[in-house]
Amino acid sequence: MIKKWIGIPVSIGIANNKTLSKVANHLAKKDELGSQIVEIINQKQIEISLKVLGVGDIWGIGARIEKFLQKNNIYTAYDLYRADPRWVRQHLGVVGERTYRELHGEICIPIVERSEPKKQCRVSRSFENYVTSFEELEKRVISYATRASEKIRSDGLQARKITTFIRSNKFNNNNKQYHAARTYDFISPSNDLFETIKLAIKALKFIYRPEIKYKKAGVLLSDLTPEGEYNRDLFFHQSEESILKKIRVNKVFDNLNNRYGSGTICVAKENYEKFYITRRQNLSPAYTSNFDDLPNVN
């Protein structure tokens, strides 16, 4: 029905583990005249399927391992299936042994239904031209700090550390080479836009050198934790009202940019439009999502 009404072919592979499911799906794609649904459940189905599958078509077997196996007279998935498990462990290691065991129907690679939370968030760019002035570099770092804080807020996270880094063009030996980074801790874990920018600029001032032609800069937020964890500052106490005010400001900032596009509202020093216009000479047409890119047929 999907192919009939939408025009997209769909193949389905059914098995007891990930590796055999990939095998089933691979065979289903070849079944152009059938239902494009392949089921591999019992041992007989497994052996028949592996006999018609090249060893390089097994999920997790790359080109280098494929050549090694072929040198050892293992050409099909069934040849690997029949191999000595001790030989597999010795030459392919733990990862290869998992693949081998999954070909025999065991479950060795678990299905992860929920991805692990992020540990860090990095926003960096290479510049279209060399940058030497602090003011121009500052605008870019503010932009990267803004994007990074937006990202962790959208994920419900906050950072304990922030790192700003800058570097020259490492591929141009005619210019003086320089690479530096500076890390600061937030007093309390934060995803606040203005705290993030403040520390990012503080780090930039520490590592900036005026005689360098800079080609790249970035901001890294690390040691991320879920929102809601706070440390009390011994010397400066923020009232609950001031914390809620910051949250509301950030929420308005995010809502406007989500609704009207990134950069709709930004910090004054950022100058968003000037250096976020990318060169897109080789951009591929978006045939499936943009009517203006659809080809005209006469």
| 247 neighbors 190 (Cβ within 8 angstroms) | no
Percent of the chain with pLDDT over 90: 57
Dist. CA 128–CA 125, nearest whole Å: 9
155 and 267 both lie in a single domain: yes
Percent of the chain with pLDDT over 70: 88
Q: Do the domain assignments include residue 108?
A: no
* Strand 157-168 relative to strand 214-222, pairing: antiparallel
The pLDDT confidence band at residue 82, using thresholds 50, 70 and 90, is very high
151 and 38 both lie in a single domain: no
14 and 89 both lie in a single domain: yes
pTM recorded for the entire structure: 0.58
Q: For residue 251, give every residue at least 6 positions away whose Cβ sits within 8 Å of its Cβ, in sequence order, or none.
A: none
29 and 130 both lie in a single domain: no
- Look at residue 249 in the predicted model and tell me its pLDDT: 86
Q: Residue 165: phi, psi to the nearest 5?
A: -135, 150
193 and 263 both lie in a single domain: yes
Where in the sequence is the domain holding 79, given as residue range(s)?
2-103
Q: Do the domain assignments include residue 94?
A: yes
124 and 260 both lie in a single domain: yes
93 and 20 both lie in a single domain: yes
70 and 40 both lie in a single domain: yes
Q: Do the domain assignments include residue 73?
A: yes
Which CATH number covers residue 37? 1.10.150.20
95 and 164 both lie in a single domain: no
Identify any residues that bridge with 218 across adjacent strands, giving them in sequence order: 124, 165
Which CATH number covers residue 156? 3.30.1490.100
**What mean pLDDT comes out for the span 188-207?**
93
- Give the range among 46-55, 163-172, 267-276 with minimum mean pLDDT: 267-276
Helix, strand, coil in percent for the chain, rounding step 5? 45, 20, 35
Per-chain mean pLDDT for the chain: 86
Q: Do the domain assignments include residue 87?
A: yes
Q: Do the domain assignments include residue 138?
A: yes
Q: Do the domain assignments include residue 286?
A: no
User: How many independent structural domains does the chain possess?
Assistant: 2
